Amino acid sequence: MYNHGEIDKKWQDKWLAEGVFKAEDFSEKPKKYLLVEFPFPSGAGLHVGHPRSYVALDVLARKLRMQGNNVLYPMGWDAFGLPTENYAIKTGRPPAEVTAENIATFKAQIQSLGLSFDWSREVNSTDPGYYKWTQWQFLQFFKAGLAYKAKSVINWCPKDKIGLANEEAQGGICERCGGPVEKREKEQWMIGITKYADRLITDLETVNYLPKIQKQQEEWIGKSEGAEIEFSVVQNPQILFASTNGGKAKLFRESFDKINSGIAVVAPSDLGITPIEVEEGSDLMENAEKKARAYFGKTDLPILANDAGVEIEGENLDPAFARRNALVGIDEKTLSPEEIAQRVTEFYSALAKKYGGTARTAIHTAFVLLFPDGRIERVSSTIKGVLVETPEGELDVRMPLNNLFKVDGSDDVVAVDGAKVHAAWTAMNNSIADFCGKKIRVFTTRPDTLFGVTYITLAPEHDFVKEIVSPSQRSEVEKYVATVARKTEIERTDATREKTGVFTGAFAVNPVNAERVPIWISDYVLAGYGTGAVMAVPAHDERDFEFAKKFGLEMRLVVAGDDVVPFTEEGIAVNSEFLNGLTTAEAKQKMISWLEEQKAGARKITYKLRDWVFSRQRYWGEPIPLVHCDHCAAKKQKVLFVHAFGSTGSKDAIMRAQLEALGFEVLMPRMSTVNEPDFEKWMEELAPYFEQLGEDDIVIGHSLGGHAAASALLRANKKIKALLLMAPSLGEFASGYWEVRKQENPTHTAAIDKLSAFIARPVDLQKVSVLADAKEVVWSDDDTRVPEPTHELYPTGWYINRVTGQNHFYGTAGVKIFVEMITKYKNTGWVSLPDSALPLTLPPVEKYEPTDNGESPLASIPEFVNTTCPRCGGAATRETDTMPNWAGSSWYFLRYIDAHNDKEFAAADKLKYWMPVDLYNGGMEHTTLHLLYSRFWNKFMFDLGFVPTVEPYARRVSHGLIMASDGNKMSKSKGNVVNPDEIVREQGADTLRAYELFIGPFAEPAPWSENGVAGVKRFLDRVMRLPEKVAAAESEEVTRGLHKMLARVTEDLDRMSFNTVVAQYMTFVNTVYGAGAITKDSLQIFLRALNVVAPHVSEELWAQLGGPGLVCQQSWPQFTHSLTLDENFELVVQVNGKVRDRIQTPSGLSEDELKKLALASLKVQEWLQGKEPQKIVVIKNKLVSIAI
RNA sequence: GCCGCGGUGGUGGAAUGGUAUACACAAGGGACUUAAAAUCCCUCGUCGAAAGGCUUGCGGGUUCGAGUCCCGCCCGCGGCACCA
């Protein structure tokens, strides 16, 4: 038994003193960056599970060094977190103090293992010098608009009055008191990781991750392709047609050639109603005029209106109105009022004809045309209505509505008296405008089953629930919503539970067949996924099936398959009109195209990944370096709108009204050079407006105005909050219209350079939003074409948003999107601390417990909370939430590269030298969160130009857990934890190292075994006695054994098969003992190979044998291929696949010679019994296989 | 339920489609010793006295040859889970 205690210490001190494991920045040698997850230094100290990964990568690090690489293998501490905080709550000791102690313990323990870490780069996430940069990086997210505050659910223990982390609320039970945990909404900081969802998936192709890790990442992000489909909402007609006389009437329902969202065909005559006569001055006409007048003076163009909506310059402010016009074939721009009236009449007449009806004179529609000079034309004079005879009765066909009317479960509506119907009719007409904007969007991965939809379900949390619920259903719906809110997480996500839900009283119109289907709410719909609404196809979805069964809802088979119901697989479409006969894949495509043509839906990709909840109401974390300033929040921001040549007329008025309502001050200068563009003059006229702008203000430029705005901004050299370019025609036009015109600089590249120059740093614009026309080519600043941009963040910080179906002179949809985008830049009152104020350090507190209302303990320190606004100098309050543990660990690998830099988180040239991490090993438990967060973090820093690689880790592998000898997980509570200290003390560091490698395949879990440790120890003792066997000569067996061992060890290390590496060493040592002698040279070669696993033992023997320097600084031993083979080998001869003979044969014989040898074998002759072999297969140096 | 991984001696495990059970543990026997520890040697999948047969969860298939590849099951582990 060797004296391991003395030897271990001696060599560890020596390595440290000589700095042999220091990584050298910018060395000429090839760099290799190996990384293990930095541990949380718990009070319990190191546990045998920790070193498994450290030792394994240490072996690789040592080998790579011996192979001439410049290796960075660092270690640090992920020291923020709950266990320390809970300990502090219990004992009242400051977490910083406890952390320092724990780190000291951990470090001593880790250092006792002889790991070749470069301790000069040690980092500690709780060190203000470290978290200064965590905070600084958080501010980059904030400044890019990627960090935002939003309501989010937290686990709340009502008894302890404290918010719990997910791991403290497992199974819906509070870890502290054992009571049930509730969900509670709280404003939390969120980080927009979902914006990177797609890149986080696609970039996986560029890295080498263990397949299961890659798979888990992909599934966590959860991309699904399908369609988003719009269903118009209609209320139950019962509300409109309240019964008074009890009589019944039929409603005729038909989907006229599948017109988009349907036509309402009601039968007032059947209801006992006289068709409504609309005279000038009547309600309908009054409404139309009122609507038109609302826009008077705000546009230079004629305004067309009816009581349902307004249209200016061919842009429909009301999609229903537009649809009607499309239906009737009206183009207001080209038709005169008389012609319009004519068209409408013709349309109704055609309808009448189609359904065998007769036209009847009645005024059904009112239009007005209001001209800029105040002249008004009323277009409603006489339009013929239609009376239709049908098998179901006589019908009066009215103007197409957005609605279909049908009473639950039947085609009946209830008759009412004339006056009430009139009122209802008016109300209904009025409501069209209200309803037309109300569309329920659903996400589906099976658009091919759209014909099978029999109801719609919303998540109870859906925004629309309150708006669409019918009065009669209100109380029931509210009751249900409340019940759901009270449910715990487990209750809600238990899929085996019986489905629950209630009907809202509202209906939705299926765009594909104009059918009205009921809208329900149910908690089986997840609010956070897709749109929070589902189109239910009970015949082809398990969940919808259960729900429909329970509530007696219709099921409709639209995919032919097995006889099982529900049939959820793919098949052939049936009962689906234009999809019939298509396979599921084909039907999906066809349906999506159809939806896109009809503008009723679109191809859509949805992700499971949610934004990252970044707030913790805790003490022991990085303080979030933001203050809230009421004064800054209240400050009016200016929005400067720079027009193109022509004014955008009516849109201005709408945009202005909406922005002003949101509290912005709007500037819309009219240029004198509108019709004869003169760039310099334009700049001159714009200058005073830009002069007024401050850093909170926003500039919008439309078309050429975008380029003018950008140029004016550059000239004014102003810092503003955001520049939004609306349809700037980036592709053809980016160098500015002016340059193109002068033919000076027509190429895209130069154009883009120009554009990016102003977008980028001089005006400090993180945010340039581009709203592009549908067919416009959009280029990003690296001169690559941006594929199908839509709400994406691109490298310079541009948000590009493509508006489909809009022309260059943006329509109302464009206004809507722009108002949304501008709203994003509205001051929230959250102001970031200047870099000079970082780090914002944790103040000392007395109590570490969260406050009664769930705020962090920081909230109870007035000196911390109350501060001044760094922006306006007024009174402000600090954010008291702290960051999650994942923050510091999202970038620690960057800090190792330049651990002591106090100017930046790491110097660019050093990052460029060391990144990416060549090999990153960690536990499977970190595959989803940590790995995803840090990849995202790195990507964002890459986008800002701070790190050199898109992906932080070139390769990721993981190790299995070390289990206790009883087969359970090691845990304090089970009392089965093995402490590495004890092993190191009693059997030496090398024993622990070698055993952890030998225990089993690195990636698999393995049970700890005391006996196994003893076996490894025995092996090392045998190694220590090898010098006794040193002789002048050795047998050939030993020499060949040495080379075989080297070949296999080298190969096994490359594939991280550490357990077999140790076995190879053992085999070799057994060979030496068997032979009884080894030369000094061979032993020294062996020690060089062994060093990576057993560094202490090998250094000691190396010194004993008088080798030069340190073994760990020798080169990795080479082997001679010819010596890895034995001189003779046992030729295996198989007959019909069974081994029949083994013949000692010299290595290297030819195939023919082997064949002859095999056939000559007596045993083989016996088995052949004179038969002629059918086939003979020869494998050199292995076997001969004979088939008869 | 879905996805991934695995199932080989008493145990941990080894095996680019080519001699299944390397290496180690445990067990048994022996040597050394007054004895113990340590060390060293031998045996060690299974049936069989042997020759030889059988054996990698089960059943098929491909192949001269299958632990390994393919199909269908069974079992275990890990992850996700009402994601439409």
**A690-739 confidence digits (pLDDT tens):** 999 988 898 887 766 776 787 787 778 777 888 877 665 543 333 333 33
The residues that bridge with A786 in the sheet, in sequence order, are: none
| Residue A1178 or residue A490, greater confidence | A1178
pLDDT of residue A423: 40
pLDDT of residue A1027: 93
CA distance A404 to A1166: 91
Residue A4: C-alpha distances to residues A62, A356, A442, A481, A1012 (Å)? 21, 105, 68, 68, 18
CA of A1169 to C1' of B55 (A): 28
CA of A1062 to C1' of B67 (A): 23
CA of A1072 to C1' of B18 (A): 29
CA of A1001 to C1' of B22 (A): 15
Look at residue A958 and give its three-state secondary structure: strand
- With CA of A547 and C1' of each nucleotide, the nearest comes out as B82
Residue nearest to nucleotide B2 (CA to C1'): A219
CA distance A313 to A825: 30
Q: Tell me the backbone φ, ψ of residue A999, rounded to 5 degrees.
A: -60, -25
CA of A988 to C1' of B6 (A): 34
Contact A632, A869 (CB under 8 A): yes
**A112-126 confidence digits (pLDDT tens):** 999 999 999 999 999
% chain A with pLDDT above 90: 40
pLDDT of residue A759: 37
Q: Compute the average pLDDT of residues A468-496.
A: 78
Return left, alpha or beta for A520; rule: phi > 0 is left, psi -120 to 50 is alpha, else beta. Answer: beta
CA of A207 to C1' of B71 (A): 33
**A1026-1050 confidence digits (pLDDT tens):** 999 999 999 999 999 999 999 999 9
pLDDT of residue A716: 81
**Residue A266 pLDDT > 60, yes or no?**
no
- With CA of A445 and C1' of each nucleotide, the nearest comes out as B84
pLDDT of residue A186: 83
Bases along strand B below 7 A from a protein CB: 3-5, 12-15, 18-20, 22-26, 38-41, 53-54, 64-66, 77-84
pLDDT of residue A777: 46
In this prediction, residue A637 has a pLDDT band, given cuts at 50, 70 and 90, of: very high
**Residue A916 pLDDT > 90, yes or no?**
yes
The residues that bridge with A428 in the sheet, in sequence order, are: none
Residue nearest to nucleotide B26 (CA to C1'): A1011
| Residue A642 or residue A759, greater confidence | A642
Q: Compute the average pLDDT of residues A280-291.
A: 64
pLDDT of residue A340: 65
**A592-605 confidence digits (pLDDT tens):** 999 888 778 888 88
In this prediction, residue A659 has a pLDDT band, given cuts at 50, 70 and 90, of: confident
Contact A1132, A1139 (CB under 8 A): yes
Helix (H) or strand (E) holding A99: helix A95-111
pLDDT of residue A301: 65
CA distance A830 to A825: 12
Q: Compute the average pLDDT of residues A621-634.
A: 94
In this prediction, residue A1065 has a pLDDT band, given cuts at 50, 70 and 90, of: very high
| pTM for the structure as a whole | 0.79
Residue nearest to nucleotide B23 (CA to C1'): A1063
CA of A573 to C1' of B69 (A): 37
- With CA of A1183 and C1' of each nucleotide, the nearest comes out as B18
Nearest to A401 by CA among A600, A250, A265: A265
Cis status of the peptide bond prior to A566, with omega within 30 of 0: yes
Q: Compute the average pLDDT of residues A642-659.
A: 65
**A146-163 confidence digits (pLDDT tens):** 899 988 777 777 776 677
The residues that bridge with A515 in the sheet, in sequence order, are: A510
**Residue A1145 pLDDT > 50, yes or no?**
yes
Burial class (CB in 10 A: 0-12, 13-18, 19+), A489: middle
In angstroms and rounded to an integer, the radius of gyration of the C-alpha atoms of chain A is 38
ipTM: 0.95
| 3-state SS record for A172-192 | HECCCCCCECEEEEEEEEEEC
Long-range CB contacts (within 8 A, 24+) of A155-159:
A155/A181, A155/A182, A155/A183, A155/A184, A155/A489, A156/A181, A156/A182, A156/A183, A156/A184, A156/A854, A157/A181, A157/A182, A158/A182
Contact A473, A503 (CB under 8 A): yes
Q: Compute the average pLDDT of residues A349-377.
A: 57
In this prediction, residue A251 has a pLDDT band, given cuts at 50, 70 and 90, of: very low
pLDDT of residue A835: 94
Residue A565: C-alpha distances to residues A568, A579, A584 (Å)? 8, 21, 17
Q: How many residues does chain A have?
A: 1188
Residue nearest to nucleotide B41 (CA to C1'): A1074
Q: Compute the average pLDDT of residues A930-942.
A: 94
CA of A1141 to C1' of B50 (A): 18
In this prediction, residue A67 has a pLDDT band, given cuts at 50, 70 and 90, of: very high
**A1079-1119 confidence digits (pLDDT tens):** 999 999 999 999 999 999 999 999 999 989 999 999 999 99
CA distance A310 to A301: 12
**Residue A807 pLDDT > 50, yes or no?**
no
**Residue A1177 pLDDT > 70, yes or no?**
yes
Strand ranges in A643-760 using DSSP code E only, listed in sequence order: 665-667, 698-702, 722-726
**A169-192 confidence digits (pLDDT tens):** 666 666 667 777 777 778 899 999
Instruction: Tell me the DSSP string of A234-292.
Output: EE-HHHHS--SS--EEE-----GGG-TT------TTTTT-PPPP--TTSHHHHHHHHHH
pLDDT of residue A298: 64
pLDDT of residue A282: 55
Q: Compute the average pLDDT of residues A740-749.
A: 36
- With CA of A1176 and C1' of each nucleotide, the nearest comes out as B64
CA distance A266 to A855: 58
CA distance A1154 to A1178: 7
CA of A215 to C1' of B58 (A): 30
CA distance A725 to A644: 11
pLDDT of residue A765: 40
Q: Tell me the backbone φ, ψ of residue A440, rounded to 5 degrees.
A: -95, 125
Euclidean distance between the first and the last CA atom of chain A, given in angstroms as a whole number: 59
- With CA of A1182 and C1' of each nucleotide, the nearest comes out as B18
pLDDT of residue A709: 80
Contact A113, A119 (CB under 8 A): no
pLDDT of residue A455: 96
Lowest mean pLDDT among A804-818, A845-859, A1084-1098: A804-818
DSSP state of A159: T
Contact A32, A955 (CB under 8 A): no
Question: Greatest CA span in chain A, whole angstroms?
Answer: 123
pLDDT of residue A230: 87
Average pLDDT taken over every residue of chain A? 77
CA of A879 to C1' of B39 (A): 69
- With CA of A1167 and C1' of each nucleotide, the nearest comes out as B52
CA distance A237 to A1185: 84
- With CA of A928 and C1' of each nucleotide, the nearest comes out as B79
Lowest mean pLDDT among A225-229, A958-962, A967-971: A967-971
In this prediction, residue A568 has a pLDDT band, given cuts at 50, 70 and 90, of: confident
- With CA of A1017 and C1' of each nucleotide, the nearest comes out as B24
- With CA of A224 and C1' of each nucleotide, the nearest comes out as B83
Residue nearest to nucleotide B64 (CA to C1'): A1187
CA of A1141 to C1' of B51 (A): 14
Helices (H) and strands (E) counted in chain A, each on its own, are 39, 47
CA of A1053 to C1' of B25 (A): 24
**Residue A397 pLDDT > 50, yes or no?**
no
- With CA of A1175 and C1' of each nucleotide, the nearest comes out as B64
CA of A1026 to C1' of B28 (A): 29
CA of A158 to C1' of B63 (A): 67
Look at residue A231 and give its three-state secondary structure: strand
Q: Compute the average pLDDT of residues A790-803.
A: 43
Lowest mean pLDDT among A264-273, A401-410, A449-458, A1097-1106: A401-410
Residue nearest to nucleotide B77 (CA to C1'): A1005
In this prediction, residue A1057 has a pLDDT band, given cuts at 50, 70 and 90, of: very high
pLDDT of residue A758: 38
Contacts of A1054 (CB under 8 A, 6+ apart): none
